[in-house]
Chains A and B, each alone.
Chain A
Amino acid sequence: MRIDYKLQDKFDLGIFIPCLLLFGIGLAAIYSSTVHHPTASGNFDRQLIWGIAAFIVFFVTYSIPISSFRVMAIPLYLLSLGLLMAVLVMGRQISGAKSWLDLGSVGFQPSEMAKIGTILVVASFLSRSNTNIESFKDIVITLIIGLVPVGLILLEPDMGTALVFIGIIITMIFWKGISLFGLFIVLSPGFVAISSLFGVYYFVASLVIISVALFVFKKDIFFSGSIFALNLGAGFFADYVYNVLSPHQQNRIKSFIDPMADPLGAGYNAIQARVAIGSGGFWGKGFLAGNQTQLQFIPEQWTDFIYCVIGEELGFIGSFITLILFLVLFLKILKVASSSKDEFLSLVSVGILAVYFVHLMVNIGMTVGIMPVIGIPLPFVSYGGSSLMVNMFMLGIVANVYRTRKNYT
């Protein structure tokens, strides 16, 4: 009992075990969806090898001095910005987006690395003793740090990952202690931008809502006017970005609004995903017995649509347990973030939580039809080396923060 207590004191099993189980569930689902596949049948082995490497990364990250993260923040951020630019020039295009960089025989997504870099730099900026989150200047600096990678990623274009970055920044600013009005200023352009995508009426309606909110906050006319202008600009900018988006991504946005409009086109995956999950029922169709999965109704199911495999073959039980594992993990990370006495590490932890959370919501949300089909992987579960490595690295940071939570006063 003594030993166990000591272990738990240094190593949070509440973090490690859910992650291990999720990786196991993912492996099983990858096996099921690729075993009869003509070209992807090696994915199980590859994921297993990646997994071993990723767990090594986890333990290394867990063990290194906690100060290393502050040190690596800026170099990592700048390196990832460099790679993000490189990928635009010499990247490999997969399903419409240039997001892969080839390093020898191994494909690698710089945007994954950029997540860590951005979290660390934003955390380190926000945790400076003279940073005032209520000052316009500091908010803008924070947003610039966060939005430079977002801009580069949107150029790939990879909407899903860009969304993750936005989630990170908002969460971290919020955690830092921004006021309600400050949050409003940060969030309102996004709200207007998204509304503008639905059409002119929604755009105008969102502007009206912003105006009412500005009136309620009772700031001076000039300031309110600037905010309104900012929002107006955001709406037009979003429209511009939408037009810059590749047609397949535009279609995905459209098909979210009405998937049946083009059941064999962009809405196809959304429909098939729902059919797969719904047909799983309570107990599921059994491992390797899901016909949606085995007949490859959803392309590349082992990546972004992995949750369908779980839903179809393991049923409500399997998909619910998967959710619970994520919930346990998230609450553990939240606890680590709030119990850490170091502001930087606390912000890093909450940023990492944001990464996982946005991934989970967008990924599972799209498979159950409450989110548009935006391709981002399910952390620890989906097939993919660089995403698994980065996720385990980030979890290693959280575990390290837990390990060292008492070192700071």
Chain B
Amino acid sequence: MRTSGFGSIQRKSIIFFIIAGSFALLAFRLFQMQIINHEEYDEKSASNSIKAIEQTPLRGVFLDRNGEVIVSNIPAYTLRIIPADYDRKLNRILENVLDVDSGYINRILYNNKIYSKYIPVRIKRGIDFKTVSWLEENSEFLPGVDYIVEMQRGYPDGIMGSHMFGYTKEISPEQLQKENEYYEPGDYVGNNGIEKAYEKYLRGEKGYNYILVDSRRKEIGRFKNGDADLASVKGNDLVLGIDADVQRAGEEAFKGYRGAFVAIEPKTGEVLGLGSFPDYDLNAFSYVTSREFLNKLYSDEDKPLFNRATMSMKPPGSTFKIMEAVAALNLGVINTSYTYYCGGGFTYGRFFKCDGVHGSMNVIHAIEKSCNTFFYNLIYKIGIDNWHNYALKFGFAQKTGIDIGEESKGFIPSAKYYEKIYGPNWPRSIMASLGIGQGEVSITPVQLAKYVSLIANDGVTYTPHIVKGYLDNKTKDFIPFKFEKIDIGVDKKVFDIVKEGMFLVVNGSGTAGRIRSKDIQIAGKTGTAQNPHGKDHALFIGFAPFDNPQIAVAVVVENVGFGATYAAPIAKKLIEAYLLKDKTKKDEQNKYEQKLHQNIIGASLAN
């Protein structure tokens, strides 16, 4: 046998081992890929060829308490770019046509770089019809540019509802990380207001169309002929307690003013209207929000993005006197025969002024005239602890629990608070101004509205809420949400007394005589919150009709002066809008028909 030269045993063995080793390597590699890492490859393979096309569900719409659509979905055009096919030389011309700053497209494309370049990127939502026509005409010169019809929020009723409704916004990476089970990059979610608070009801269920794609991502058919597809389910429609007429009246009345209003149905706690002013146009958020627009909103010193209805804290002024009267009457410290003499002021350590010289009067007339002297005295009679407790009973210094967004607590000082600051011998003269709702007391408009609801409905109401319930998208049944009942446990007789005073405020010789109405019996209380930084804030709380309250309102107008002059007339408009519907309806008839028409267009395109 040959040993070392031609075709020797050793050489045969070397070739044998090279072959055997190579085969072992290949076999090992197969084992590794097909058995050990099989799952990983299997997943890749499945996602490779079966592509799920997400079907964005329609968002639920908002209906007002009368079934009117106040937030709807309207079709709008969105311009998209498929980066793989797109030529960036087109940036300039597109940016000109879209009327956006140069670099806009590159910026968006850059932000979407992490996704496959075959996935279309939304460049601008809500492009106008002229732009769409231009795209159509020039489509052959615009590779990788297309447009789709998407549903966006529309506000067919002309109601702003800026802070209450809120807007949707592309999901942030942080939220995406937390809620990645439902959401995907590019999804829109409620960012504030009802849109955020009821996101889970509104968003619906995503649908998926499964298509087979080949290696070029070209669609080559439906997976299982579409049997596996999941239709999207529209979100639930929300039924709001809002009355479109009240809301509209409030928004119109507040034009040119800063402040807030909240109207509540006292028996149910349903919010009939809520506004914060200045407001802003939510339509601007339906589309890609322009930078200038956002900057303007942020830098505006009137802070239009700030929800004054739930966040702004002001002293309640004289509106707080009702609370004090209720406390005194309920504690038995005074009754209606108790009188106090007003000689133009009150002395406790120092002199505290009244607005007039009211003479001797009982609690009813003290409310009617908003006599400071009477209430300076009264707080000393009930003591700061009782005063503090009753304020808390009415829900001050705590969140009302209204179902939208952020809310301030406000502040009600207590003996403890003053002890902390001044020691056990804190100057009791501080209490005098608390007695007329000034000083360190601060409340929010929504607290004020809850307060007046409690008064109107004799100490019983529900947590204020804007949304009553929803229409189940499958059964179409109305499913009400449950809200907490509030009963402050004060005798009805006590409320009868203070309400009489409030009736006289409007209908007697009180401070709000100017809003007296022959159609509706309104009761209320004016207030003026002292403002060290400028003109006083005007406040008014009221309810109507007097004998069967259906609407309770709180109005705060900032930096204008007396409550009677500015806040009370707005409250009257809200009350009239709600209670004199038939009369105002006729004026609105034309508007309504127009709106109905729009809804029908929206609905047919949505299907």
Interface residues of A, Cβ cutoff 8 Å to B: 171, 174-177, 268, 272, 274-282, 291-292, 295-299, 311-312, 315-316, 319-320, 323, 326-327, 330-331, 334, 337-338, 343, 346, 350, 353, 357, 361, 364-365, 368-370
Q: Which of A176, A272, A278, A338 contacts B215 (CB 8 A)?
A: A272
Whether B30 contacts A319 by the Cβ 8 Å rule is: yes
Asked if residues A274 and B33 are in contact (CB atoms below 8 Å), the reply is yes
A365 contact from B6, B14, B26, B215, Cβ within 8 A: B26
Contacts of A281 in B (CB 8 A): 34-35, 38, 42
Q: Are A297 and B35 in contact (CB under 8 A)?
A: no
Interface of B is mostly: helix
A326–B49 alpha-carbon span in the complex (Å): 32
The complex places the Cα of A279 from the Cα of B39 at a distance, in Å, of 7
* Assembled-state Cα–Cα distance A76/B49 (Å): 48
Pair A291/B50 contact, Cβ less than 8 Å: yes
Given A177-B5, A297-B215, A323-B26, A277 contacting B33 (CB threshold 8 A)? yes
State A311–B37 Cα separation when bound (angstroms): 14
A316: B residues at CB distance < 8 A? 30-31, 34-35
CB <8 Å contact, A279 and B215: no
* Chain A residues near B44 (CB-CB < 8 A): 275, 278-279
28 interchain pairs, CB-CB under 8 A: A174-B15, A177-B4, A272-B215, A274-B41, A275-B45, A275-B48, A278-B33, A278-B38, A278-B40, A278-B41, A278-B42, A279-B38, A279-B42, A282-B38, A291-B50, A295-B214, A295-B220, A297-B48, A316-B31, A319-B30, A319-B34, A323-B23, A326-B23, A338-B7, A338-B9, A346-B6, A350-B15, A357-B22
Docked CA distance A177–B9 (Å): 11
Q: What total count of A-B pairs have CB within 8 Å?
A: 130
CB distance from A15 to the nearest CB of B (A): 15
Q: Which of B4, B30, B38 has the most CB of A within 10 A?
A: B30
Identity of the chain A residue whose Cβ is nearest the Cβ of B34 in the assembled complex: A316
Chain A nearest Cβ from B19, distance in angstroms: 5
Q: Are B7 and A346 in contact (CB under 8 A)?
A: yes
Instruction: Tell me the smallest distance from the CB of A111 to a CB of chain B, in Å.
Output: 23
* Other contacts beyond A175-B6, A291-B49, A295-B215: 7, CB < 8 A: A176-B6, A280-B38, A316-B31, A316-B34, A316-B35, A334-B16, A346-B7
Contacts of B212 in A (CB 8 A): 291, 295
Could you mark each residue 86-102 of chain B with 1 if its beta carbon is under 8 Å from any beta carbon of chain A, else 0?
Answer: 00000000000000000
- Is the Cβ of B41 less than 8 Å from the Cβ of A296? no
Contact with A along B189-224 (1 / 0, CB 8 A): 000000000000000000000001111000010000
Let me know if A370 and B25 touch, CB within 8 A: yes
Residues of A within 8 A of B45 (CB): 275-276, 278-279, 291-292, 312
Interface residue B601 (Cβ < 8 Å from any Cβ of A) = no
A311 touches B19 (CB 8 A): no
Q: Are B49's CB and A297's CB within 8 A?
A: yes
Residue of A nearest to B213 (CB): A295
Q: Write the chain A residue with the least CB distance to B20.
A: A327
A274 to B29, CA, bound (A): 11
Q: Compute how far the CA of A280 lies from the CA of B214 in the bound complex, rounded to whole angstroms.
A: 18
Whether A364 and B42, one on each chain, are in contact in the complex, defined by CB atoms closer than 8 angstroms, is no
Interface hub of B23, B27, B50, B213 (most chain A Cβ within 10 A): B23
Out of B20, B26, B42, B49, which one reaches A368, CB within 8 Å?
Answer: B26
Contact present for B37 and A278 (CB under 8 Å): yes
Say whether A364 contacts B19, CB under 8 Å. Answer: no
Hey, which chain B residues are within 8 Å of A365, CB to CB? 26
| CB neighbours of A353 from chain B (8 A) | 15
Answer whether residue B12 sits at the interface, using C-beta atoms and an 8 A cutoff.
yes
Separation of A297 and B212 alpha carbons in the complex (Å):
11
Distance to closest chain A CB from B6 (angstroms): 4
Residues of chain B with a CB closer than 8 A to A276's CB: 45
Chain B residues 213 to 251 lying within 8 A of chain A, measured CB to CB, are: 213-215, 220
Contacts A275-B48, A278-B42: A338 and B12 contacting too (C-beta < 8 A)? yes
Complex CA distance for A343 and B7, rounded to whole angstroms: 8
Cα A104 to Cα B288 in complex, Å, equals: 63
Name the residue on A nearest B84 (C-beta).
Answer: A264
